[in-house]
Chains A and B, each alone.
Chain A
C-alpha cells in the first residue's frame, strides 16, 4: 500500500499510482488542494477564450457577452419570480385548510405577453447573430495556409510562391505574420478533429474528405495556445498546438529559414545519429534534402503522415505540442526529448500496433544510440523565432 504521508502542499500529481484506491488519500488533501488551486487559479490558463486577441475572436466575444447578459437578465427575472413565489405563497400553519386560494385557470393577456417578449428578444439576438455568421465565414484576401489534423498532431503547409505546391511543411506550430487575416484550408487525414486557437477565433472541424475554410489573425506578436476539440480517439487530450505570430521581418526570416534544406552533419556523434535516423526513422519522417523517402501517405501510419522534422528545433514544442522544446532558461529540454524518442507510447497514449502513433525504440536502441540520435535532432534548425514567455 502506498500509505506514506505526504507533507507537500502541492497537488499530488505524479505521486499517484494508477489505482482508484488512492482516492481517499487525495481526499485528505482536499483543503490544501483547494487552497493551492484557488491561488493558482487567479492566473489565467494558456487556453483562454476570455481574453480575445484576434479580430474574429473579439467579434465573437462581443456577441457572446451580449447573449450572456441577456440570458443573465432573463435568469435573474425568473429567479426573482421563483423566490417571491416561494416566500410569499408558502402555506402557513394557521391557514384554513378549507380555504382555497383563488382558482385561476389562465390569463390570455399575460400568456401573450410572455410569448411576445421572448420573441422580440430573440428576434433582436437573431438580427445580431445572422450577419455575424456570414461575416465570420467569408474569405479574406490574405495568404492561405493548409491545416491538416491527424492522430494526434497538426500539420501546417505553406505555398510560398503560390505555384500550388507546398514549399514548407511543419508541425504543431502555425507561424503567421502580425496583422494579416490568414485563410486556413482545414483538412483531416484520418478522423474528425477540430482546430481551435481560442484567442484568435472560434473552432472549425477538420473533416476527412472535406476542406473547411476559416480565418485567423492577430494584431500583436506572441504565442497563442490551441488544441483539438473534437474527440479524435485515444490521445485526444494530447493534440495541442501553438499559433506563433511574428513581426513581418521575423516572419520573412522564418520563411527563408524553413525553405532551406537540411545537410548531412559533420560532427561524429551527430553523423552517427544521422545514420541511425536513416535506419529507424525515415519510413515515417521526412527531413528535406536528406531523407525524403517517406513522403506523404506512407503506409506505416493510418493517417499516412508523421511530422516533417527538417526544422524541428525552430519549434517551441514537440509530440503534439505537449512537451516544451526549451526550458525557461532557453536551453533545450533534452531529457523529455530523449525520453520521447526512446518510448513514445509511454509518454503519450497511442496505439502503434494499430498504426496510430510512434512506435517505441526502448528495445531497439541502446542508450548511446539514443544519445547520438538526439544529438542529430538538435542539429535540425533552430532556435525558434519567438520563445514562450
Chain B
C-alpha cells in the first residue's frame, strides 16, 4: 500500500491562456482517420509510422538482396547486367543502413523512450513529426532514381572520384548525394529532440544512473548522430557541388586527393556502425533481465561501456582504409585503437551472459531473438578483431569475409535486437502479443537462413572472392558456397513471410477476440512503460511516477520481507496506472509534412531544373511561416477529455460520446497500420 503514497499529484501542463493565441492558421483537429496520422505530433503514432515505413524499405532492400543472390547463384550469372548489379548493391547497402536500421531504431526511440522516462511526449512534438516526414520523403526521393534513369552506381560508400560526373554520368549519384542529405536532416532533427527529451523530461528521481539502459543507449546514439551527421553532410555537399556545379573538391587533375572523401565518409561511417548497433544493445539489455528474472549484471558497467564505445568509435575510422595508402604509422595506430574497442564490447557480451547466469530463463520469442543477438554478434565482433590486424586485413578487405563480418554485426546483431524489441514491446503498442508459435517459426527460419547466408561468406572471403563483383568465373571455385548462400537468402525470405503472416494473423485474431487483450504488464517488466495500460493511452501517464531506483517498476512489485528474502508484494497489472485521466496534449499540426515535402522538390530542382528548386523554396518558406504562425494549441482540438478534474481552463469540456481517448478506441486507430 506504500505504492499509492508514492503517487504524486496529478500532472499539470502549463495552463496559460493558450486559446487566446492569434495565429493565422488553425490546427488540425482530427482524432481519427488518416488525418490523425498524417498531422499527428504524438510520439507513439510517429514511432509506429517510422516502423511501418522502415519495414516497407526492409522489404525493398530485401528484394535487392535477393536479386544480388540470384545473380551470384551460379558462375557468370545473367539475372542482372553489370550495370544493374552495381546499382542494386549500392542501393541495398544504402537502403538497409539509412532507410531500415536507422529508422527502426528511431521507431523504438520515439515510442519507448518517453515511456521509459515517464514523459507525456518528446520535448518538441512538431519537430518529431518533421523528422518522420523528412525521412519518408528522403527515402522516396532516393528511390525515385530507379524511375529516372537508374539508381546510384557508386556503392553506398561512394568513393571519389568514381562518383564524379566523369565516371558516373547518370543522375543516380545525384539522387544518392541529395537523398542522404535529406535523410540526414531527419536524423539530426530527431537527435536533438531526443537529447533534449532525455535530459530534461525524466520523471522526478530518475537520475542518469537510474535510467533504463535502452534509453541510455539511445542517448549515446543521438550524440553520435549529432556529431557524425555534419561530417557526412559536408562530404555529400562537396560531392553534390562537384557534380552539379563543376566544383573540384575531388578532381584529381586539379590537385584534389580522393582520400579526403574516404576520411570524411568513414569519420561518419564508423560511428554510424555504433549508431546502428547500440539501440539493439539497449533492447537486449531490457529483455535479458526481464526474461531471466534477474537484474542486469553490472548496470553501470554496461552503461559506461556503451558510452565508451560511443567515444572510442570516433578513433577507429581509418581501419576501413588500411590498404588505401595511409602509411605504416597511421595503419599501426588505427590497428591498435580498433583492437581495443573490442574491450568494452566484449565486456557487454559477458555481462549479458552473466545476467542470464543463474537466472530463471523464459524462452519467449523476444528472449530467443535477444540470445541470438548475444551469440551472433559475438561472431561478428570476433571477425572484427581479425580485421583489426592490419596485415591480415590486406588479405580480407573487400572480400566476402568482410561481407560476412558486417552482416553478423548488422543482421545478427542490430536486426536480431530490433526483432526482439518488436516482439517485446508489441503488446505495449498494440494491446496484444504477436503469436508465439509463428514467432518461433520466424525466429528459427531467420536464424537458420541467416547463418546459411552469411556463414559460408567467411569461407568465400578466405578463398578470395571479392566484393562488388557482378560475376565470378566457373574456374574460381566459388560455385558451391555461393549456391548455399543464395539458398540461405531465400530461407530468410520465408522467415520474413512467416513474420508478416504472424502480424496479420495476430491482428485479425485480436479483432476477432481470439488473441487476448494484454494487461499493462504482460512480461513482469522492470521499467516504467509497463506501469501504464496496454496499448499506451494517448497521454501515456495519468500521474508522473516518482523514481527511486533502477528498474523502479520492478521494485514496486518485489520487496524484501523481514528475513531479507524478496517477495512479490504487488501484481504489476494491479498497480499499473489506469490510463483514465485526460490531460491536455499538444495539438496536431499541418506544417511538418508540408515543410518536409519541400525538401525533395528542392533537391529534384538541383538535378533537373532550378525552377523546381524555386518552387520547393517557396513551399519551404511558406511552411516555416505557417509553422511559426500557427497557434500554440487549438482550443477545439481533438483532445476531447479536457479533464475537469485537473483544472484545464480553456473551453468547455467536450467529451466525445465515443470517448476516443479510451484505450480500446486507440487500439482501433493504431491497429490498421500493421
Contact = CB atoms under 8 A, between A and B. Distances in A.
A237 B360 contact: no
A231 B159 contact: yes
B297 A105 contact: yes
A37 interface: yes
Contact of B328 (A50, A110, A137, A356): A137
B562 to A, nearest CB: 16
Interface in A80-116: 81-82, 85-86, 89-91, 95, 98-107, 110-111, 114-115
Interface stretch (A39-47, A241-249, A260-268, A308-316): A39-47
Contact of B464 (A17, A45, A101, A114): A45
A213 to B, nearest CB: 9
**Most-contacted residue by chain A among B153, B168, B354, B360 (CB, 10 A):** B360
A243 to B, nearest CB: 14
Interface string A171-207: 0000000000000000000111010101001111101
Interface of B: 67, 70, 73-79, 81-83, 86, 153-155, 159, 161-162, 166-169, 252, 255-259, 292-301, 323-325, 327-328, 331-332, 335-336, 339-340, 342-343, 346-347, 349-351, 353-354, 356-363, 371, 374-375, 378-379, 382-383, 385-386, 388-399, 462-484, 487, 558, 566-568
Given A45-B476, A78-B349, A209-B257, A101 B358 contact: yes
Given A60-B395, A101-B359, A204-B323, A349 B81 contact: yes
A280 B184 CA distance: 50
B83 A234 contact: yes
B466 A227 contact: yes
Contacts of A126: 335-336, 339
B375 A82 contact: yes
A12 B73 CA distance: 10
Given A118-B346, A192-B258, A16 B79 contact: yes
Contacts of A349: 81-83, 470
A362 interface: no
Contacts of B300: 106
Contact of B483 (A33, A60, A67): A33
Given A133-B335, A233-B168, A71 B383 contact: yes
Contact of A78 (B301, B375, B469): B375
List 8 tightest A-B contacts by C-beta distance, closest first: A202-B394, A45-B477, A37-B480, A41-B480, A349-B82, A237-B469, A47-B464, A64-B392
Contact of A203 (B154, B386, B395, B566): B395
A316 to B, nearest CB: 13
Contacts of B349: 78
B227 to A, nearest CB: 26
12 contacts: A18-B78, A81-B350, A81-B353, A111-B298, A115-B347, A118-B346, A119-B340, A202-B395, A207-B324, A230-B398, A237-B470, A349-B83
Contact of B360 (A75, A100, A208): A100
A16 to B, nearest CB: 5
Given A82-B371, A125-B385, 5 more contacts: A129-B388, A190-B161, A203-B394, A203-B397, A207-B324
Contact of A229 (B340, B399, B470): B399
A335 interface: no
A2 to B, nearest CB: 12
Interface of A: 11-14, 16-20, 22-23, 26, 30, 33-34, 36-38, 40-41, 43-50, 57, 59-61, 63-64, 67-68, 70-72, 74-75, 78-79, 81-82, 85-86, 89-91, 95, 98-107, 110-111, 114-115, 118-119, 122, 125-126, 128-130, 132-134, 136-137, 151, 190-192, 194, 196, 198, 201-205, 207-210, 212, 227, 229-238, 302, 322, 349, 354, 356
Given A91-B360, A126-B335, A207-B258, A194 B398 contact: yes
A37 B359 contact: no
B323 A231 contact: no
A345 B248 CA distance: 30
Given A45-B475, A104-B294, A104-B295, A190 B328 contact: no
A118 B360 contact: no
Nearest to A356: B167
**Most-contacted residue by chain A among B327, B378, B388 (CB, 10 A):** B378
B258 A63 contact: no
Contacts of A61: 395
B439 to A, nearest CB: 17
Contacts of B389: 63-64, 67, 125, 128-129
B106 to A, nearest CB: 29
Nearest to B350: A114
